């Protein structure tokens, strides 16, 4: 029978056991398809010796003991693909720290990019997980024993594979490679829900003060309405509509109704007056209220496109040789920066990434390395230069 905690006293007793463990594996089940704020439906937690499901929907249950455990710096919190779980706990005022993400770790351990939890369990523990309860409505009660057992498996196996994966990276000298990526997951800025910063989620297409000021104002209006109504922001207004509003900046109902991306009749809806007021606020003093946006990077120099393509092949080859996911080593933006500048300020030319790829990338640009197709596999070979007579 799966241990399910539904009272504060039971939770406090369980957390007292967990706080003595070196680490705790954590996972959550939540719903957010129709809401702005995710609805936390179940928490699963496991140490090497104890495991339980915690029911946050149980009447009278206070999560304080578990939230305190999440911020206990003596206990490492282990997640797989942690971002959404961390967002939920951050909303509750408990940023999990220290944190270890096995999906990120797996990228340095030879398991590919963004490996799924069941795939990692299959690879490391030779266990096939039962996915029959995958599409459970976790907000419904009661949950069946099979559903609870399915949910708890997400942390019991995680508690088993985590030490193995961590030891694998440690022995290979790769543990430090992933620490920075994991640390970024507990940066509060990643989960900022301040409406005044909502524009940062968008991709501005223009840099004029007028455009940016209206974009920021409308994005803040949408975020505020979405939060107040607890609805997904896309159900209030789509991103492409905000771009068109910032470009056209209509100030009356007729102008609003002429826009293609704004839903028909929006101006006459309960949202219309608030949206128009947000546009007017953005137009009031755009030079002062427009956000600061970095100018677009200049296009790569002529011929750089071919260099980027060569660097992509080199990256894939080096990633396969080292068993490290290419995404962890370098991004397309990194490759474009290297193609344009040998001294580009990019992570791919720093630290372990320089040793794994960046140094060879520069050698390839200088003609000191070549890419050779050998039996359908790309090999990187040194180029012998003939001295000039």
Domain with residue 326: its CATH number is 1.10.150
From 246, 264, 289, the end of a domain falls on 289
Domain with residue 81: its CATH number is 3.30.420.10
Q: Are residues 82 and 179 in the same domain?
A: yes
Least confident of 15-29, 287-301, 338-352: 287-301
Confidence (pLDDT) at 373: 87
Q: Are residues 141 and 214 in the same domain?
A: no
Residue 230 CA to residue 303 CA, distance in Å, equals: 49
Q: Are residues 251 and 378 in the same domain?
A: no
- Per-residue pLDDT band for 215 (boundaries 50, 70, 90) equals very high
Full domain range(s) for residue 258: 195-289
> With 60 as the cut, is the pLDDT of residue 18 above it?
yes
Confidence (pLDDT) at 182: 96
**Across the chain, what does the average pLDDT equal?**
94
Residue (of 94, 91, 92, 37) closest to 223 by Cα position: 37
Residue 62 CA to residue 55 CA, distance in Å, equals: 10
Does a structural domain hold residue 294?
no
> With 70 as the cut, is the pLDDT of residue 303 above it?
no
Q: Are residues 337 and 207 in the same domain?
A: no
Q: What is the pTM of this model?
A: 0.89
Confidence (pLDDT) at 204: 94
Q: Are residues 187 and 164 in the same domain?
A: yes
Does a structural domain hold residue 299?
no
Does a structural domain hold residue 82?
yes
Where does residue 215 rank: exposed (0-12), middle (13-18), buried (19+ CB within 10 A)? buried
Does a structural domain hold residue 336?
yes
Residue 109 CA to residue 328 CA, distance in Å, equals: 11
Q: Are residues 203 and 187 in the same domain?
A: no
Confidence (pLDDT) at 17: 98
Residue 105 CA to residue 177 CA, distance in Å, equals: 9
Q: Are residues 320 and 222 in the same domain?
A: no
39-46 and 51-54 beta bridge pairing: antiparallel
Q: Are residues 180 and 203 in the same domain?
A: no
Q: Are residues 281 and 133 in the same domain?
A: no
Does a structural domain hold residue 372?
yes
The first and second tokens of residue 308, run together, are 């980027």
DSSP code string of 151-175: HHHHHHHHHHHHHHHHHHHHHTT-H
Least confident of 156-160, 217-221, 305-309, 361-365: 305-309
Report the domain count for the chain.
3
Q: Provide, rounded to the nearest whole percent, the portion of the chain with pLDDT above 70.
A: 97
Q: Are residues 222 and 244 in the same domain?
A: yes
Confidence (pLDDT) at 302: 64
Mean pLDDT across the stretch 311-319? 95
Does a structural domain hold residue 295?
no
Q: Are residues 243 and 102 in the same domain?
A: no
Confidence (pLDDT) at 295: 74
- Angle formed by the axes of helices 239-248 and 209-229, to 10°? 140
39-46 and 23-31 beta bridge pairing: antiparallel
Confidence (pLDDT) at 300: 62
Q: Which helix (H) or strand (E) holds 68?
A: helix 64-70
Sheet of 51-54: strands edge to edge? 4-5, 51-54, 39-46, 23-31, 76-79, 99-101
Does a structural domain hold residue 387?
no
Q: Are residues 15 and 109 in the same domain?
A: yes
């Amino acid at each position: 029978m799966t241990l399910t905690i539904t009272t504060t006293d039971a939770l406090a007793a369980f957390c007292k056991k967990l706080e003595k463990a070196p680490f705790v594996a954590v996972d959550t089940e939540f719903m957010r398809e129709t809401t702005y704020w995710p609805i936390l439906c179940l928490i699963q937690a496991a140490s090497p010796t104890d495991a339980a499901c915690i029911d946050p929907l149980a009447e009278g249950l206070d999560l304080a003991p578990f939230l305190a455990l999440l911020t206990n710096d003596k206990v490492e919190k282990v997640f797989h693909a942690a971002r959404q779980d961390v967002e939920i706990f951050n909303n509750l005022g408990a940023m999990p720290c220290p944190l270890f993400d096995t999906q990120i770790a797996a990228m340095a351990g030879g398991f590919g990019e963004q490996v799924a939890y069941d795939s990692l369990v299959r690879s490391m523990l030779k266990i096939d997980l039962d996915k029959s309860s995958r599409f459970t409505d976790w907000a419904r009660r009661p949950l069946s024993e099979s559903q609870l057992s399915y949910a708890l498996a997400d942390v019991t196996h995680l508690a088993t594979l985590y030490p193995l994966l961590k030891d694998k990276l440690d022995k290979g000298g790769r543990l430090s490679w992933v620490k920075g990526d994991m640390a970024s997951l507990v940066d509060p800025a990643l989960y900022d829900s301040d409406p005044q910063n909502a524009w940062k989620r968008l991709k501005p297409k223009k840099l004029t003060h007028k455009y940016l000021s209206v974009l920021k104002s409308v994005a803040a209006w949408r975020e505020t309405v979405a939060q107040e109504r607890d609805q997904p922001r896309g159900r209030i207004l789509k991103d492409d509509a905000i771009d068109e509003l910032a470009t056209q900046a209509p100030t009356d109902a007729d102008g609003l109704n002429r826009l293609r991306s704004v839903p028909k009749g929006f101006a006459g809806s309960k949202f219309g007056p608030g949206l128009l007021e947000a546009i007017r606020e953005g137009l009031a003093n755009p030079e002062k209220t427009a956000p600061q946006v970095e100018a677009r990077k200049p296009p790569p120099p002529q011929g750089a496109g071919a260099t980027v393509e060569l660097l992509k092949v080199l990256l894939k080859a080096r990633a396969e040789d080292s068993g490290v996911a290419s995404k962890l080593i370098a991004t397309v933006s990194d490759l474009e920066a290297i193609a344009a500048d040998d001294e580009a300020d990019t992570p791919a030319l720093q630290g372990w990434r320089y040793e794994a790829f960046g140094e060879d990338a520069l050698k390839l640009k200088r003609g000191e390395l070549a890419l050779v197709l050998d039996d359908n596999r790309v090999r990187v070979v040194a180029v012998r230069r003939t001295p000039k007579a």
